[in-house]
Amino acid sequence: MKRYDAVVIGSGSGMFVVYEAVFRGLSTALIDKGPLGGTCPNLGCIPSKMLMFPADRVVEIAEASRLGIAARVTRIDFQAIMERMRRSVEDAQRNLRQSLSALSGLDFYEGTGHFAGEYELEVAGTRITSDKVFIAAGSRPSLPSVPGLDAVDFLTTDTLLDLTKQPRSMVILGGGYVGVEYAHFFAAMGTSVTLMEAADRLLPGEEPEVAALLKHALRKRMQVLTGTEIERIARVGDGLHLHVRERESGARFSVTADALVVAAGRRSNADLLKIAQTGVQSDSDGFVSVNEYMETNVPGIYAVGDVNGRYMFRHIANIEATVAARNAFGTQRVAMDYSAAPHAVYSYPQIAAVGLTSEEARKRHDVLIGRARYMDTATGEAMMETEGFAKAVVEKHSRRILGFHIIGPHAPTIIQEVVNAMTSGGNVAEIEQALHIHPALPELVQATFRNLSPE
């Protein structure tokens, strides 16, 4: 059995630990079952955004008439768009593999590993051990318990990127951020899309008025069904037949499509590692339990990224991995701070948020709420953006920013100013007193804070 100073499971956010360990001169082992680089560059954020970008252009052209521009899309090369995305994925994998081979002091074990003891792992018949183990094993699609699902062909967010032929019609099960992004993409490509969500609204974790506007916007281009459940799925000829029930009314109807995408959330890969062999605890959903230092209940074993289920976004996983590495190898412990952790949804319209929702904030604080429309800014008016808006949540007495939410063009870019302000203390004055370029879209942020009032 070979002993290492550090063992890392997973080459996504786990690479932040690998680089830190190697640069410190520590003997390091990396275990990865593939695809190399983890979910983000292979199956998630990067390839999906390469699809969302052309989809955005298609919808912008369709909406250009409101600006007095007569334009139309004459042809969409679905295969070319998909191939461009896949080439990018292949390039990223190749570059990472070259990077790994150049790291002195790193042994790379390519294969499915699992725990064989408290600090022992087995991969491809080889056993290794370390008193510092970092679990960054990611997640996989969660499949709902729907009668008939196991008897039909379906796509998941891990397999739809392999499509070479565009489906004529598609049902997407799941109105979370992944579901609404792919609904936007396929609808823009010309596929007839039905988006189905069991909850009463899309994106249940977002502000209700944000979710409502998104549903309104998507319904212009596709069928959106919320508060529905699938009672049975069957194959009929070359297509699929979904028997659906509306929860509130009890009404039953059916939906047919050529393709089915299951985007009903993700589950931790911790179970594949046989973590019970280590005594590491997990919650009822299988996610590894960690404290604010990214430590599990077993000393020296850390868990970061999707595997712990806290915030399943790559940019947050990278920071978790950095915190874990500092706590394992450094002399001063660092706690993970999620208070200014942002996220974005690349639907059309785009969505971005940071911090608490108004409902969450009211449970612990006296709050002020601010709202502003894109049309309240000169650039928003020039864009004729009549529906997009921003919402601020502020602690009443300290005027500390608790949360900020945007739906509209460039939302993920605009919100960065608020993220920076929250990171440096979060007082509203930092944004109110800062000079903003006029006319430019960041004036939306300033206008939102100027409209604070109790509700």
Report which of 191, 185, 214 is spatially closest to residue 57, judged by C-alpha positions.
185
- pTM of the complete model beyond 0.85: yes
CATH superfamily of 349-450: FAD/NAD-linked reductase, C-terminal dimerisation domain (3.30.390.30)
Q: Which of the residues 216, 243, 410, 438 is marked catalytic? A: 438
pLDDT digit of tens for each residue in the chain (455 aa)?
A: 999 999 999 999 999 999 999 999 999 999 999 899 999 999 999 999 999 999 999 999 999 999 999 999 999 999 999 999 999 999 999 999 999 999 999 999 999 899 999 899 999 899 999 999 999 999 999 999 999 999 999 999 899 999 999 999 999 999 999 999 999 999 999 999 999 999 999 999 999 999 999 999 999 999 999 999 999 999 988 899 999 999 999 999 999 999 999 999 999 999 999 998 999 999 989 999 999 999 999 999 999 999 999 999 999 999 999 999 999 999 999 999 999 999 999 999 999 999 999 999 999 999 999 999 999 999 999 999 999 999 999 999 999 999 999 999 999 999 999 999 999 999 999 999 999 999 999 999 999 999 999 97
Residue 31's identity, in one-letter code, is I
Query: HSE of 35 in the Cβ direction (CA atoms, 13 Å)?
Result: 16
Choose among 95, 13, 58: nearest CA to 304: 13
Q: Does residue 436 have an active-site annotation?
A: no
Looking only at the bridges linking them, the beta strands covering 228-236 and 239-246 are: antiparallel
In the chain, where the domains are located: 2-140+267-329, 149-264, 349-450
Burial label for 1, CB within 10 Å (0-12, 13-18, 19+), is exposed
Torsion of CA 47, 212, 422, 412, to 10 degrees: 30
The tokens 């864009």 sit on which residue? 383
377 residue type, one letter:
T
Q: 149-264: which CATH topology?
A: FAD/NAD(P)-binding domain (3.50.50)
The CATH architecture of the domain made up of 2-140+267-329 is 3-Layer(bba) Sandwich (3.50)
On the question of a common fold for 2-140+267-329 and 149-264, the answer reads yes
Cα-based angle 431, 436, 439 (whole degrees, multiple of 5): 140
- Count CB neighbours of 268 within 10 A: 27
Q: What is the DSSP string of 300-355?
A: TEEE-GGGG-S---HHHHHHHHHHHHHHHHSSS------TT-EEEE-SSS-EEEEE
Q: Are 121 and 113 in contact (CB under 8 A)?
A: yes
Residue 269, phi then psi, degrees to nearest 5: -85, 5
